[in-house]
Amino acid sequence: MKKEKITANKITNLSEKAPVTSPFFQEKLVSKVNALTFNTCGNSLSNPQNKNFNNEKGLTLSYKLVVEELVKLSEASTLYDLYVKISSIINQNIESAFIAVGLFKDKSNCINLKLRDKYGNFYTTKVFLKDTENPIIQAFTNKEVIFKDDVSFLNIAYFKNNAVVILPMLSANGKCIGIMIIEDKCARQNITLYNLIANTAALYTDNFDLQEKSEGYINTDSLTLLYNHRGFQEILSNEISRAKTNMQKLSVVMMDVCNITKINRELGHAKGDEVIKLVAEKVRQNMREGDIAGRYGGDEIAIILPNTSISQAKYVAEYLTYSLSCCFIDDVGPVKVSVGIATYPDCSEDKEKLLVLAEQAMYISQAKGYKDGMSAIISSADFNFWDDVALKSYAEVIGKRHAQLGVNFEDELISKFNADHAMSGARISEIATSLAGAIDAKDPYTKGHSTSVSRFSEALARAINLPEEEVERIKLGALLHDVGKIGIPETVLKKEGPLSDEEWAIMKQHPTIGAEKVLMPNPSLRDLIPIVKYHHERIDGKGYPEGLTNGDIPLAAKIVAIADTYHALISDRPYRRGMNIEKAISILEEGAGTQWDGDLVRTFIQIAPSLGV
């Protein structure tokens, strides 16, 4: 027998069970314990409430006190806790060297035995049903109590001449679910009470099993028979907590079935379901023992890999994708998936962020396609955050998951943006372009708005012969003019139709948010603050956020204001089509001298036809 001193967390098949929390279950169990009390002991004891059971050490098992303690077992929150409490009940009355509990596992056709000695040490072993000479198997198979004067059948050198009783654990329907072994030289004298303890333990074990199965149905996806999204989230939370406690790594592998939308559209949803079921089956067959898989989305399957580093997770993912690539489905061909990986704590210590990063990596894998028939397996540690594909993937995930995940994408972007306070000019421009693209991605109707405004502003700045250094500053400031929208709720940004007064008040905060929250923390960008903060001011003082008049509005902000308005006029919106150039120019002319600088408007009108859209 393998000797192993282990903690509660390591006893997975005892500790990882649902708590007994239902009052209904507790009442039923209490009544069954009482029924067991009188059925088991009523005929043999003239007065069971006052009966004491003796052993040669002079200690006693008080029947009344033991029954009272057994009823309290409903407070146990796990199977591990349950058996520790039973062990304590026995050891409070008898100095038993050990007790052991073995539960039958039908998949492996064996009894998993956990032995706990009086010092709290644990020993584990498996006893297979084919070992018919073993008294453990005899007690289980024949549902009979067996007394042994030694424990040689356990093969533990530490325990040699101890006398034990082996008790079948019988559930309410008479089914034997396992065995209990108690070390006691006077076991024959106490057998009635030991039977009560074993059968009470069986009742509670049955309850744990039923409740686990019930919760399993709630948390199981009916198509794939994997955990559903809810169940997966719960398990991931628990596994991350365990990884944190044990100071271990944990990886999440996210897999997306490629072309599933096309398959559903062209071949029908039944064929799409067939593909997803096959993927789930192959994942279940080929993942390691201890890994947990769930259906994360419609065509996404995620796998939790406890105690697994990035390199180990990639190896597992490669094996899974290879197994899938060998599968062919009629009319579809080989099954292909995109694969992303994120690892705790390397990539993030936050569960939601970890999932977002895994999904982002999966989208990048999708963008990279296949090499030699195999999908690109991407970890969130493999790419530059500001890479165009990476940032686009990140924005896509956030747009898809933002409401349910609650991940603060905006703060993440700002944090990344301001991480380097000594960026070169070229690097600033590169990152600013990516940041502007991410902001525009929040609103599907304004894609490319920031880059277009930057281009228009640059053209106007050159048309009035500003120095090259100032042109570049205006170009960059225009690129980031709407950076404050990063803090505006998407319900406001994406509203189809005019904003209410309250929504408009929220929208008008974006120049200040951009200046103070995004640019101010970064010394390299502070000279852009006047452009970003004042590009919605008006010549007549009716603009925002500060109501500046003509002489107080910086020239650069005036330039960006015209470019911003022009592009907004010629672009499609949810509530209207984009205007033609002539109509947009006429609106600028009407506002020249009141809303916008008259001289700048006249210059812009001259170059507008050459700017395109």
Number of domains, the chain: 3
**Measured between alpha carbons, how far is 499 from 148 in angstroms, rounded to an integer?**
83
CATH number at residue 420: 1.10.3210.10
Q: What is the pLDDT of residue 373?
A: 57
* Cis peptide, bond prior to residue 609, ω within 30 of zero: no
Amino acid 219 reads: N
- State the residue for tokens 């809303």: 595
DSSP string, 321-358: HHHHHT-EETTTEE--EEEEEEEETTT-SSHHHHHHHH
What is the predicted pLDDT for the residue at 599?
94
Same domain, yes or no, for 327 and 237?
A: yes
In a domain, 313, yes or no: yes
| Cα 473 from Cα 465, distance rounded (Å) | 14
For residues 287 and 427, which has the higher predicted lDDT (pLDDT)?
Answer: 287
Residues 157 and 73 in one domain: yes
**Whether residues 414 and 465 fall in one domain:** yes
Higher pLDDT, residue 270 or 554: 554
With respect to residue 1, please indicate whether it lies within any of the assigned structural domains: no
Query: Residue 397 is which amino acid?
Result: V
- Across 539-561, b (16+ Cβ under 10 Å) vs e yields beeebbbeebeeeebbbbbbbbb
Q: What does residue 449 show for φ and ψ, rounded to 5 degrees?
A: -60, -50
Amino acid at 484: G
**CATH assignment at residue 335:** 3.30.70.270
Of the candidates 403, 426, 450, which is a domain's last residue? 403
Same domain, 397 and 412: no
SS3 311: helix
Q: What is the pLDDT of residues 139-186, one digit of tens each?
A: 999 999 999 988 888 877 667 678 899 999 998 888 898 999 998 888
Q: Which residue has the higher pLDDT, 129 or 70?
A: 129
Report the C-alpha gap between 279 and 569 in whole angstroms.
48
pLDDT value of residue 40? 40
> Contact 294/310 with Cβ under 8 angstroms?
no
443 & 498 share domain: yes
Within a domain: residue 2? no
Q: Which residues contact 424 (CB under 8 A, 6 or more apart)?
A: none
pLDDT of residue 441: 61
Residue 67, pLDDT > 90, answer no
Same domain as 572, residue 488:
yes
The single residue listed with the structure tokens 């106007």 is: 460
The reply to whether omega before 545 is within 30° of 0 (cis) is yes
pLDDT attached to residue 172: 80
**365-422 confidence digits (pLDDT tens):** 887 776 655 678 888 888 766 566 666 666 666 655 544 444 455 566 666 666 654 5
Domain boundary among 218, 248, 267: 218
Same domain, 493 and 438: yes
- In-domain check, residue 3: no
Same domain, 238 and 312: yes
Res 491: pLDDT: 75
Per-residue b or e along 103-134, where b marks 16 or more CB atoms closer than 10 Å to that residue's CB: bbeeeeebbbbbbbbeeeebbbbebebeeeeb
Tell whether 444 and 487 lie within a shared domain.
yes
Q: Do 321 and 418 reside in the same domain of the chain? A: no
CB 226 within 8 A of CB 301: yes
Same domain, 196 and 231: no
**CATH code assigned at 204:** 3.30.450.40
- Residue 578 shares a structural domain with residue 589: yes
> Last residue of a domain, which of 218, 233, 256?
218
247: domain range? 221-403
**Number of C-beta neighbours around residue 472 at 10 A:** 15
Question: Given this model, what pLDDT does residue 108 score?
Answer: 81
